[in-house]
Structure 1
Amino acid sequence: MLKRLAKIIVEYRIAFSLVAMFLLIVSIYGIQQLEFESDLTKQLPQDLPAVKDYLTLKNEFQSGDSALIIVKVNSIEEEGVYDIRDPEVIRSIHELEERLRVHEYVTDTISIADIFIQVLGRLPENEEEVKFVLNTLPPEAVQGFISSDYRTTLVVATLTAGSGAQAVERIYQDIERDINEVNFPKNVEVIQTGTIGIAYRILKMLQSDLNRTMAIAFLFVAALLVYFYKSVVRAMLPLIPLVFGVVMTLGFMGLLGIPIDMVTTVVGAMIVGMGIDYGVHVTNRYYEERKKGMAIEEAAEEAIAETGKALLGAALTTIAGFSALSLSILPSLQRLSGVLIMGLSLAVINAVVITPSLVILHEDIVKKIKGEYEVPEIRAHSGFIANFFHKMGNLIKNHPKTILTVVFILTLVFLYGLTQVTTEVRLEKMIPEGIPEIEAMKDVRYEFGGQDEVDIIVSADDVRDPAIVRDIYRFEQEILADSHYNNVFETNSIADIVVQKYGYIPEDKERIKDIIKESSAPISGDYSMTLIQVKGNFGGTNPENFREIMQYFEEQAKNADFPPGVEIRPAGDLYLTYVLDGLTNQELGRISTYGSIFVVIIVVLLFRRPLVSIAMILPMFLGALWTVGYMGLAGIPFSQTLAGVISMIVGLGVDYGMHLTHRFLEELREGNPHPIISALEGVGPGILIGALTTGGGFLALLSGELTAIHDFGKTLAIGIFASMFAAFTVTPALLQVFYGEKIRGEEK
């Protein structure tokens, strides 16, 4: 069947190429529709209780994001200010607040300027007034806004609910413009951070990382192909179909409304890395057949037919590995699964259909220029590389058990690494050190105890009931009493408003109603819900402490002593991140298991030989195991981006063992007395080129700015090289052990 299909592809190659050109034009339009997404809720199932509570915060309480603005004296140059208490600095801060309050999405702002207006009725005119007011305040009130060295202060802007990349970008740029338009004194630096600042920085990095990583991946792959094929033109033959595949993938993402997020931003470099493998195998087999003296069209048909069998199996196993991602309950991994399967399918189709057309066209052009066909000589089939695979084949043929023993010892080392693996999904941890927004956030946590917030939702028939208000106050005091453990420095609720007014919580419900009505308390319109707002340093802790703090809030809410019928539960951005962390851990094992099972089923169905299947499957498991072990040893945590990495490596890693096994069986059928050596000489260079270009494509992700993208690139590259090494050692060694007697019998 493949022989017949190969003839059709070669005969109608021009028609197929025109169809590909049409799809390419449509895809270029689709790329212009691509959107970028940083909203955490879009990475979680919408029916999750934590997501519903998060949306309740936004809808019922207009609880949105916050903009934290650091105002800092960062130098001591002459004619500038040296202290944040300078009246000129306070006037500038007040002007900034006035500008911020004009925006419809800003619900409130607070800063040290507000304190002076409340006490004096105006802004201070000199330093003596500033010091007088600050001396009248409790120390904790001053510490909440001014650093101990009087060089840093904080402006907090509370924002209404807003989502989507465009909203984040507009809000950040509006605030940045307000900051720039205020004439702050010399020596003062103003930096925007908080959830909006960090989300904006991630969006910008997603956009730049997508373009940069794809460009570097293409350049790296092109350089390797030029080296192996000894010609820029010949290197372009498998590369052009790859460009088609990548552009079509991104274009279809735009047309289908699939956004680029923290997970899918790697897709460009991944398709470059994976897709080139198929074109390389077709091209290598074509040049191999041409070197043997086969005619052009016959060589193209042979390349499609023979490599097509292995490519079909490789593509199916890779798709099987990626399809496991679609079983995840995380929408981001479901999207990644669909995109990778689509991209991989397009890469295979373009490699099989477009590559032969280009190869034949190239040969025809060379004939017109030189007057005769030129049998191409490529580095993959000669010199050092050919000699290396010949010697490797001999070594494995003669010492298969020794090779397997060495591999076993290596595996023991990486088994220890498995015990050191952790997870990390907090957005701010995805940004590298040194970025202004992250450094400013560190200042907030160090100088002001942190501005991270967890909201505790209290639901009842009427939360103004004195018994409920009293229990809310007691709940707050219990949390504050544990501040040494939970990093909490402040809580706010309707109970605090009542206590501030009366000095106690009255039994008279009407009195409570009156004071809540007069205030801007966080309470729903029907009085069925209210919030306990808890502030502290939660996001800046290490992953273990972060989980412990969030678990603490869960336990406190679960065991809270409230009247019957009252529900209390944590919510908010950070709690949502904690939920995502737990789901990532859960999904990691499930996806990896399903991915491995799917790949094994495909291999068994394709080859229907237990021993052959073992020789192909074992390297993929070893590649995945070594990769996860490396992650533990290198301190790379599993994130939402890396949750499906094992399934991906399993899907990709089996390809190399499949190509070697397929060629081994082909040589064995033809009566070759040294099938192991011939298999390694025949497909070894193609696997090497494919692994180097695939791994190189993934390593291009190191050029990105986001830490999560770096980790993804390193991990997948290690997985590819580990799978290649396992395929070059374990697969031929096992085949030699399994079929050694038969081969020796045929030699006699």
Structure 2
Amino acid sequence: MVVRTVDPGETIGRFIKNHYVFIIVMAVLLLILAMVSAQKIYMATGIETFVFKDSQIYKDIEYYTENFQATNFLILITTDDVFSPDVLEAMRLLDSQIRVNPKVQNVTGLYTILDRYSSGGIVNSAQAERIISLLPGEATRFLVPGKHHTIMSVLLRGDLEEAEKPAILEDVKSAIRWVPMPAGSSARVTGETAMMLEIQDEMMRSMSIMLASAVIMMIIALWFTFSHSKWRLLPLPIVLVGVIFTGGIMGITGVPLTMVSMAVFPILIGLGVEYAIQFQNRMMEELADGKAPGDAVVATVKNIGPPVAYSVMTCLLGFLSILASPVPMIYDFGLMCMIGVAVCFLSALFLLLSVLVLLSSKAGRIQHKVEQRGVIEKVIERVAETTTRHPVIVIFALVAMIAGYALDPTIGVEIDQSSFAPQDLPSVVLFRSLTNIMDVKTTDMIVQVKAHDVTAPDTVRWMQNFSLYEKSNNPDVLAVSSLNTLMASYNDGVVPDTGPEIQAVLDRIPWEEQRRYIDDYRTTSIITMTINDLPTDQQMSMLRRVERDLSFLSPPAGISATLSGQSRVMLTTLGSLTSDRLQMTLASGLLVLIGLLIVYRGDWVRSVVPVIAVVIVTGLSCIVMIILHMKYTPLSVTLGALTIGIGIDFSILHMERYYEEKAKGFPPLEAMRIATAKIGNAIFSSASTVIAGFGALVMSNFSILSNFGLVTIIDFILALCSAFVIMPPLLVTLDTWWSKVRGVKV
């Protein structure tokens, strides 16, 4: 009895043939559901984009933020004389208007200090200036950075949700518009919190521009590269449906939109259209051969389904290594790329082919133009033929790759989100102006200390020893402040040493001042080290040094001390960007290699050659970044994985056609020449759609996206060149050698 093997492609094709109307209806219903779910997508630019919420690091930083780091808006007052009674009165009126909002905890400014020290009120500027001059500089430097500028601070309640802050910001802006300022004076909201909220709004506008650019560029690419096909623009709306499905999944699963995940949608448009073209092109060929629409779709899925599925598989395997990143925004980017690629593939497979069955059933006989061999094919054929006869070019490429990786450590790293945003954004410009006005040349490094009682003698002694060690051994530490320095200021400069002495001093210190350094339960305290404002790489070295010092001067049993706040975030994120990017690329190449070995059933030549061809590109990418003076960001660290996952497709398609021609009896050199001549334009067209998708990123006004888009386009052009320059000589050389080793006639 003969057992008939069931072909999965044929089975899927028959399902589409028999249920194409049902598939279209279900797609419409799912589209509506996805559009509703996509409304739940929210923007994220906070700590949760750098550290996972379920990690101890996040919990420590969150506790520090809630207890020691106030969330506030700053109001920059610019005037001829900040001590003018008219200006002070305007600030008091502004204060009263802002306090109306119950979500505002406190409002402070120059006027609050002056009102505290002047019982009869401020009569003139000279009186106000005299009062300020008698106070310690530390108490007034922030509020009065100069005679023409003063700062009001709007402290928000600690229990606020992130989603509530934009409304409060609008209320503060409304209060500023309502309160008249004296002639020659102005008031503007600034500060990091306000800046990040405006950046979030700009992110939504930028994403709309990117998506519109992706659609326009894809229309152009399809119009010229897919002109031989009927309904040449159909792949685009089908893929857009897949993109909306992906957005719906983001909404349902709670994946936020960050500066990194913004890049997902243009990328999916480029990749999805590539898959859709493969299916539609084959469907048109089957229809042109005279097959009925139902039979054509079965033949299409059976013949082209497996190669496209393999392409999707290598892409997913390439992206899989991104999920190993400890940085949430990078992990989310990799996850949504993988989900999106799978969804767009399924949309092309089921929805596109169902629509084509429906359209072709009503269109009558389909005429499918055969592409004529043009200039592109001739150039590609000549290049591949030349390099195949001179395989030494592979050696040069490998040397260039090694040089690129050797230079990789010299490429800088950037994680400051304000530097990723448009530098002409009003909030960014104003924040930069505020920094210049404040003349800030330092930054703070936070050490978080936890114990059963942080006011116990053992804890106080350890904090004192650690503070003295850092001040005397670390030249970049300018000052150290903690509960110890606070107690010393109330105890004639002496830090109390015994339990009763400590308690006696604490009894004399107002709780508001203690609260700067200890929490309500006395289980957590912070040490603030003021350091020089160093470049990113030097800051990283400084953080690692302090972390080593914490290990060297480890606190007694029952007490723990770790970096916290922005310092801890920087250490975690920068550490990932500097060490994990090469591991990510290596893991991506290894996963793809394993996948190909499984698909090709252990044929190492077929598996290794395309991997080598695309890994060479990842090394050249390092050189490209150096030439363009670019730094690694949370997005560009994924370049290696993306290049391998997507770029390897070009080499695989070329290689498969080589083996197809070789199976017809052509010798290796001739088989490669014929394969290149036949498939060159198809690969070029496929690459153009992918590049068009990434090209939309270049249109973004966020440098993290535009720079990434530019480098990625160059990488894919290099991957395309590698498929025709590096892969042919490498494949022919290894295939010929291995055939001789096995005793197979070439």
Report the TM-score when normalising by structure 1. 0.86
Partner of residue 271, structure 1: 268
Contact 2:51 2:57 in 1 (8 A): no
Farther-moved stretch of structure 1 (214-223 vs 330-339)? 330-339
Q: Is the aligned partner of 1:684 residue 2:677?
A: no
Which aligned pairs between 1:320-359 and structure 2 lie closer than 5 A? 320-359=317-356
Q: Is the aligned partner of 1:22 residue 2:17?
A: no
Q: Which deviations, in whole Å up to 9, do the C-alpha atoms of 1:402-431 show, x marking residues without a partner?
A: 553564565466456424223222322322
Which aligned pairs between 1:170-569 and structure 2 lie closer than 5 A? 170-230=167-227, 234-286=231-283, 300-363=297-360, 366-367=363-364, 373-376=366-369, 381-396=372-387, 399-401=389-391, 403-404=393-394, 407-408=397-398, 411=401, 414-415=404-405, 417-450=407-440, 453-465=444-456, 472=463, 485-486=476-477, 491=481, 493=483, 495-496=485-486, 499-500=489-490, 504-505=494-495, 508-516=501-509, 518-522=511-515, 523-534=518-529, 538=533, 541-555=534-548, 557-558=550-551, 566-569=559-562
Which of 702, 724, 730 aligns to 2:720? It is: 724
How many angstroms does 1:289 deviate by?
6.2
Tell me the secondary structure at the aligned position of residue 636 of structure 2.
coil
Which aligned pairs between 1:93-172 and structure 2 lie closer than 5 A? 93-121=91-119, 124-138=122-136, 143-148=141-146, 150-161=147-158, 165-172=162-169
Which of 557, 570, 578 aligns to 2:563? It is: 570
Contact 2:17 2:354 in 1 (8 A): no
Separation (CA, whole Å) in 2 of partners of 1:193 and 1:526:
33
Separation (CA, whole Å) in 2 of partners of 1:664 and 1:5:
29
The amino acid across from 1:320 in the alignment is L
Distance 1:106 1:259, change over 3 A: same
Which of 593, 598, 612 aligns to 1:600? It is: 593
Contact 1:501 1:515 in 2 (8 A): no
Tell me the secondary structure at the aligned position of residue 64 of structure 2.
helix
Q: Is the aligned partner of 1:622 residue 2:628?
A: no
Separation (CA, whole Å) in 2 of partners of 1:649 and 1:681:
25
The amino acid across from 2:222 in the alignment is L
Distance 1:93 1:654, change over 3 A: same
Distance 1:474 1:620, change over 3 A: same
Contact 2:480 2:530 in 1 (8 A): yes
How many angstroms does 1:204 deviate by?
1.6
How many angstroms does 1:592 deviate by?
2.6
How many angstroms does 1:303 deviate by?
4.2
Contact 2:228 2:368 in 1 (8 A): no
How many angstroms does 1:240 deviate by?
2.5
Partner of residue 79, structure 1: none
Separation (CA, whole Å) in 2 of partners of 1:419 and 1:498:
45
Q: Which deviations, in whole Å up to 9, do the C-alpha atoms of 1:411-470 show, x marking residues without a partner?
A: 466456424223222322322323333333334443335385443333344333467557
Separation (CA, whole Å) in 1 of partners of 2:665 and 2:312:
28
Distance 1:471 1:324, change over 3 A: closer
Distance 1:597 1:349, change over 3 A: same
Distance 1:3 1:395, change over 3 A: farther
Partner of residue 8, structure 1: 14
Partner of residue 575, structure 2: 582
Distance 1:327 1:135, change over 3 A: closer
Contact 2:476 2:532 in 1 (8 A): no
The amino acid across from 1:602 in the alignment is G
How many angstroms does 1:697 deviate by?
1.1
How many angstroms does 1:271 deviate by?
0.8
The amino acid across from 2:148 in the alignment is R
Q: Which deviations, in whole Å up to 9, do the C-alpha atoms of 1:119-139 show, x marking residues without a partner?
A: 223653322223322333455
Contact 1:116 1:122 in 2 (8 A): no
Contact 2:195 2:427 in 1 (8 A): yes
Farther-moved stretch of structure 1 (243-252 vs 172-181)? 172-181
Distance 1:685 1:581, change over 3 A: same
Distance 1:671 1:171, change over 3 A: farther
The amino acid across from 2:74 in the alignment is L
How many angstroms does 1:250 deviate by?
0.8
The amino acid across from 1:31 in the alignment is A
Tell me the secondary structure at the aligned position of residue 568 of structure 1.
strand
Tell me the secondary structure at the aligned position of residue 231 of structure 2.
helix
The amino acid across from 2:410 in the alignment is Q
Contact 1:212 1:703 in 2 (8 A): yes
The amino acid across from 1:511 in the alignment is A
The amino acid across from 2:591 in the alignment is F
Distance 1:339 1:142, change over 3 A: closer
The amino acid across from 1:550 in the alignment is L
How many angstroms does 1:225 deviate by?
0.6
Separation (CA, whole Å) in 2 of partners of 1:470 and 1:90:
44
Report the TM-score when normalising by structure 2. 0.86
Distance 1:7 1:146, change over 3 A: closer
Contact 1:241 1:354 in 2 (8 A): yes
Tell me the secondary structure at the aligned position of residue 455 of structure 1.
strand
Tell me the secondary structure at the aligned position of residue 44 of structure 2.
coil
Separation (CA, whole Å) in 2 of partners of 1:162 and 1:3:
55
Partner of residue 54, structure 1: 61
Distance 1:351 1:333, change over 3 A: same
Tell me the secondary structure at the aligned position of residue 236 of structure 1.
coil
Separation (CA, whole Å) in 2 of partners of 1:121 and 1:453:
36
Separation (CA, whole Å) in 2 of partners of 1:460 and 1:562:
10
* Structure 1 residues not aligned, in runs of 5+: 74-81
The amino acid across from 2:132 in the alignment is L
Tell me the secondary structure at the aligned position of residue 643 of structure 1.
helix
Count of residues in correspondence between the two structures = 728
The amino acid across from 1:463 in the alignment is V
Tell me the secondary structure at the aligned position of residue 391 of structure 2.
helix
Distance 1:469 1:356, change over 3 A: closer
How many angstroms does 1:166 deviate by?
0.8
Contact 1:310 1:658 in 2 (8 A): no
How many angstroms does 1:362 deviate by?
4.8
Tell me the secondary structure at the aligned position of residue 514 of structure 2.
coil
| C-alpha RMSD of matched pairs (Å) | 3.7
Q: Which deviations, in whole Å up to 9, do the C-alpha atoms of 1:698-738 show, x marking residues without a partner?
A: 12112223332223323332332222221122222223334
Q: Is the aligned partner of 1:35 residue 2:42?
A: yes
How many angstroms does 1:57 deviate by?
1.9
Q: Which deviations, in whole Å up to 9, do the C-alpha atoms of 1:105-149 show, x marking residues without a partner?
A: 54444432233223223653322223322333455655444345x
Separation (CA, whole Å) in 2 of partners of 1:436 and 1:363:
53
* % identical equivalent positions: 17
